[in-house]
Every structure is written in C-alpha cells, then in structure tokens.
Amino acid sequence: MKDLAGRTAFVTGGANGIGLGLARVLLDQGCKVVIADIREESIEQALATLDNREVTGIRLDVASRETFAAAADEAEARMGPVSLLFNNAGINLFRPIDESSYEDWDWVLGVNLFGVINGVQTFVPRMKARGEGGHVVNTASMASFLASGVPGIYNCSKYAVRGLSESLRHSLHPHGIGVSVLCPGLVRSEIYRSDEIRPAAHAEGGNSTDPGFVEMLGQVHQIGMDPVEVAEKTIAAVKANRFYIFPHPEFKEELEEVFDQILAKFPDETPDPQRIAFEQGRRDRYAQERALLKGE
C-alpha cells in the first residue's frame, strides 16, 4: 500500500502517546482519521492540536463489543469506509501474575487483547466485503518477546496479540489486506497512568499500582521515544507491507540472546520417523505461505 491519501484510518487509544502520533502522521499522509479513546477530555485536547483537519473523535471502550460496533458505524458515517485499522489502545498493571486477581485479568485482557479482537471482528469483515484492500496494525510490545515477573498480565496479553497478528496476516493476504504488529519499547506516553481509567466494574477486588511507583514510571517515560517517531516508522512499514515493526533498535542484541537460548534447549536426538513424515507436510505448507509473504 504505497499511497494512503484519501483512506480513512481508525486509531484506538488515539488521544495520546503512540495513538496521537499515528493520527498526526496519518493526517500528514492525506488520510482521514478517527481518534477513538475512552477519555472524552483527552479526545477534545487531542483534536485541538490537530489544526481542524479531516479528523474526528469518538469515545470508545475497546473492551465492549457493542460500543465498538456502534463506534465503527459512527466513524464510517462521518468519514467514509475504514480501510486502515490501528488497534493501539493499551493499559498496564504492574503486578506479578501470582498477586493478580480475576478483576485484574478481566480488565487488562479486556483492553489489551479483546480490544484488538473486537477491532478485528468489527472492521475486517467490512474490509473483506468491500474488496478494496486495507491494512491492520496491532500494537503489541517488546513485552511480546521479553517477559519478567512484572508486568505479568501485560506480558500475557502482548504475547497473545503477536500470535493473533501472525495468524491474521496469513488469512488476510489473499484479500489484499496487510497486517503488521507493532512492538515498541519505551515511549513517551501516559500508559503508566492506566489506573486512572480503570472502570468501576473491575475496581472491586482489583489491585492498583503503588502511587510512588507510578510517579517514578512517569519520570522514566519522559525519556521514551517520541510517539511521532514511532508513528513515522509504523507508517513506513505499512507502506512496505512489513509484518514486524521494531521502532527501538536497542532490543536487537537482547532478542538474539533470547532466541539463541531457546534454540539451545532443543534435545539432540532423532525424532520419530512417523512424526517427521506428518510434520513435513505441515512444514511444506507453512513454507509456501511464508514464500508468498516474503519481504513483508
């Protein structure tokens, strides 16, 4: 997709951080942009900085299927058919898995994973039916490759988004719809303030992040990559139809170490011939699919 001009983009979590950076860059590309965010006041503030260009804002809780469908209808009524989808909304809860509650799981997975699922389920059938191509970008994280004790549920959600995206890429290729997964590191954003937007339904029985830790995270995020730089790299990848988007080069060496450690754990033994024969057919099919997607 070399030329994005004239297309309509829908960006979740679009009122700050990477989402707002994407809105700016997409507008510069000549796109019409819909900013979707759960914070009404943040949408208004974001729109005030965008020079009244072809952009609109819609309040959206991405965890809700019903409101996602209604937001999609409203967006397309205002700005035309959406063919660029950025499932970018995300939150974080800085707690280990064994100290998390069911309410914590429901909240974080509801936004980080089901927010992506709801975006795909809502918009992809429309893109396929129109037959005019398009592109889906799902925001994961370097935390979709690198896990630690904290943040546990966040790691789980981002690993899932990476797997979802890879599978979706294969299935949408025949329809001329590209898929990318964005895996940023530290970005100048407000994700550290996630507790402030935790819905009441997931508050009772849930855990909050220590206020002192939140304050420290706010200082750390100030040295993060500029969201516009992340967005520029993302849009360049969309134009080139690349799957993996790694804006932060400082992770390359660490990722090499992790994959080397994983490969080193495979046993040095001969597999069962019957299993080899079975797996060969699957390997051949997968290789053919990868060949079709080569260079993306």
Q: Give the span between the Cα atoms of 86 and 274, in whole angstroms.
A: 43
**In the sheet that 244-245 helps form, which strands lie side by side, from edge to edge?**
55-59, 32-37, 8-12, 82-87, 134-139, 177-182, 244-245
Q: Are 30 and 97 in contact (CB under 8 A)?
A: no
Q: Give the span between the Cα atoms of 275 and 182, in whole angstroms.
A: 35
Region at 51 (left for phi over 0; alpha for psi -120 to 50; beta for the rest) = left
CB neighbourhood size of 243 (10 A): 15
Residue 286 among the catalytic residues: no
Structure tokens at 4: 């994005």
Report DSSP letters for 133-199, one per residue. Answer: -EEEEEE--GGGT---STTHHHHHHHHHHHHHHHHHHHHHGGGTEEEEEE---SBSSSGGGGGGG--
Which member of 102, 154, 159, 286 is catalytic?
154
Structure tokens at 242: 């690349």
> Phi and psi dihedrals of 81, rounded to 5?
-55, 130
* DSSP three-state, residue 92: coil
Residues designated catalytic: 154
